[in-house]
Chain A
Amino acid sequence: MSDILVDTIDGFAYRMHISEVFTSLVILPYFSNIAEQVSALIFAYRNEMDLCVGITVGSAVQIALFVLPGSVLIGWAMDRSMSLFFRGFETACLIFSVVSIAAVLQGGTTNWLVGAYLLGVYFIIAAGFWFHELENLSIDGELVNLHEHHNHTRI
Chain B
Amino acid sequence: MFNRSMFSSTSTSSSTVYTNQPQWSILLSNIQNDILLSTNLIFKSKLTWLLIFGPVALVGKTGIFGESVCFILAGLTLIPLAERLSFVTEEVALHTNQTIGALLNATFGNAPELLISGAALQEGYYRVVQLTLLGSMLTNLLFVFGLSCFIGGLRYQVQKLRIVSGNASIGMLMLAVAGLALPAALMLSDEMIMGTEEKEYIDKNGDGKSDINDGPTFSMVGFSRFNAVIMIMGYLLYLLFQLGSHSDEFDDLEEEEEEDETEMRTIGSDDEEAVTQPLQHRPVHKKRKKKARKNKFCHRLFRGYAQNDEESNNNSNTINERGQYQQLNKLSPINEIELSPHSTSQSLPDYIRNKPNDQGIGIPQCRSDLGGRNMKDNDNVSNASSSSNHRRRVSNSSPNKRNQEEGSSDQEGLLLTTEQSITNGRRPAASNKSHCSDGSDEEPYIMSVDITREVEPEEEGTSLLLYSLAVITFVIHILIICHFHSQSTCPSERVYYGYLSLHCLYLP
List residues of chain A with CB under 8 Å of any chain B CB: 1-12, 14-18, 20-21, 24-26, 28-76, 78, 80-88, 90-91, 93-95, 97-98, 100-102, 104-119, 121-122, 125, 130, 135, 137-145, 148, 150-151
Q: How far is A122 from B187 in the complex, measured between Cα atoms in Å?
A: 26
Interface contact B68-A82, CB-CB below 8 Å: no
Q: Which residue in B129, B144, B184 is a CB contact (below 8 Å) of A37?
A: B144
Q: What 20 new A-B contacts, CB under 8 Å, besides A39-B444, A76-B225?
A: A8-B68, A11-B66, A24-B128, A24-B131, A30-B139, A36-B106, A39-B448, A46-B289, A53-B166, A56-B141, A65-B231, A65-B235, A67-B117, A68-B130, A82-B221, A83-B216, A101-B173, A118-B142, A118-B143, A137-B125
Q: What are the residues of chain A within 8 A of B72 when measuring CB–CB?
A: 12
Q: What are the residues of chain A within 8 A of B123 when measuring CB–CB?
A: 6-7
Q: How far is A106 from B170 in the complex, measured between Cα atoms in Å?
A: 8
CB nearest neighbor in A for B89: A39
CB-CB under 8 A for A31 and B75, given A54-B98, A125-B138? yes
CB-CB under 8 A for A63 and B113, given A38-B451, A39-B444, A115-B153? yes
CB nearest neighbor in B for A64: B176
Interface contact B115-A2, CB-CB below 8 Å: yes
Dominant SS among interface residues on chain B: helix
CB nearest neighbor in B for A121: B142
Interface contact B121-A71, CB-CB below 8 Å: yes
Q: How far is A91 from B186 in the complex, measured between Cα atoms in Å?
A: 12
Q: How far is A122 from B143 in the complex, measured between Cα atoms in Å?
A: 6
CB-CB under 8 A for A15 and B131, given A41-B147, A122-B138? no
- B413 at the A/B interface (Cβ < 8 Å)? no
Q: How far is A146 from B392 in the complex, measured between Cα atoms in Å?
A: 59
- B351 at the A/B interface (Cβ < 8 Å)? no
Q: Could you list 16 examples of A-B contacts with CB < 8 Å?
A: A4-B61, A8-B68, A8-B74, A25-B132, A32-B116, A35-B109, A44-B151, A63-B140, A86-B183, A100-B142, A101-B145, A106-B166, A106-B167, A114-B149, A122-B146, A141-B216
CB distance from A126 to the nearest CB of B (A): 8
Interface contact B221-A15, CB-CB below 8 Å: no
CB nearest neighbor in A for B65: A8
CB-CB under 8 A for A35 and B79, given A70-B114, A83-B216, A110-B152? yes
Interface segment, one of B2-10, B305-313, B424-432, B483-491: B483-491
| Chain B interface size range | 35 or more
Interface segment, one of B29-37, B155-163, B267-275, B398-406: B155-163
Q: How far is A18 from B491 in the complex, measured between Cα atoms in Å?
A: 9
CB-CB under 8 A for A1 and B105, given A110-B159, A139-B127, A145-B195? no
CB distance from B93 to the nearest CB of A (A): 7
Q: How far is A21 from B132 in the complex, measured between Cα atoms in Å?
A: 9
Interface contact A81-B98, CB-CB below 8 Å: no
Q: Which residue in A7, A78, A94, A140 is a CB contact (below 8 Å) of B138?
A: A94
Interface contact B121-A93, CB-CB below 8 Å: no
Q: How far is A43 from B93 in the complex, measured between Cα atoms in Å?
A: 12
CB distance from B172 to the nearest CB of A (A): 5
CB-CB under 8 A for A48 and B173, given A5-B74, A80-B121? no
CB distance from B191 to the nearest CB of A (A): 14
Interface contact A144-B217, CB-CB below 8 Å: yes
CB nearest neighbor in B for A20: B128
Interface segment, one of B14-22, B196-204, B321-329, B371-379: B196-204
CB-CB under 8 A for A72 and B138, given A8-B74, A46-B443? no
CB-CB under 8 A for A81 and B495, given A29-B135, A32-B136? no
Interface segment, one of B80-88, B341-349, B383-391, B414-422: B80-88
Q: How far is A94 from B218 in the complex, measured between Cα atoms in Å?
A: 24
CB-CB under 8 A for A143 and B216, given A16-B495, A36-B105, A88-B184? yes
Q: Mark interface residues in B449-474 (1 if CB within 8 Å of A CB, else 0).
A: 00100000000001000100010000
Interface contact B113-A49, CB-CB below 8 Å: no
CB-CB under 8 A for A54 and B289, given A85-B184, A122-B142? no
CB nearest neighbor in B for A102: B170
Q: How far is A12 from B73 in the complex, measured between Cα atoms in Å?
A: 11
Q: Which residue in B126, B156, B172, B492 is a CB contact (below 8 Å) of A61?
A: B172
Interface contact A83-B113, CB-CB below 8 Å: no
Q: What are the residues of chain B within 8 A of A49 when measuring CB–CB?
A: 152, 159-162
Q: How far is A144 from B187 in the complex, measured between Cα atoms in Å?
A: 15
Q: How far is A38 from B118 in the complex, measured between Cα atoms in Å?
A: 26
Q: Which residue in A44, A50, A61, A81 is a CB contact (below 8 Å) of B221?
A: A81
CB nearest neighbor in B for A66: B235
- B188 at the A/B interface (Cβ < 8 Å)? yes
Q: How far is A48 from B448 in the complex, measured between Cα atoms in Å?
A: 15
Interface contact A60-B183, CB-CB below 8 Å: no
Q: Which residue in A42, A51, A94 is a CB contact (below 8 Å) of B466?
A: A42
Interface contact B127-A135, CB-CB below 8 Å: yes
Interface contact A39-B166, CB-CB below 8 Å: no
Interface contact B137-A97, CB-CB below 8 Å: yes
Q: Which residue in B177, B185, B195, B215 is a CB contact (below 8 Å) of A94?
A: B177
Q: How far is A60 from B110 in the complex, measured between Cα atoms in Å?
A: 9
Interface contact B131-A145, CB-CB below 8 Å: no
CB distance from A48 to the nearest CB of B (A): 7
Q: What are the residues of chain A within 8 A of B227 when measuring CB–CB?
A: 69, 72, 84
Q: How far is A118 from B144 in the complex, measured between Cα atoms in Å?
A: 9
CB nearest neighbor in B for A146: B218
Q: Which residue in A15, A62, A109 is a CB contact (below 8 Å) of B235?
A: A62
- B26 at the A/B interface (Cβ < 8 Å)? no
Q: Which residue in B121, B145, B169, B234 is a CB contact (below 8 Å) of A74?
A: B121
CB distance from A88 to the nearest CB of B (A): 6
CB nearest neighbor in A for B58: A4
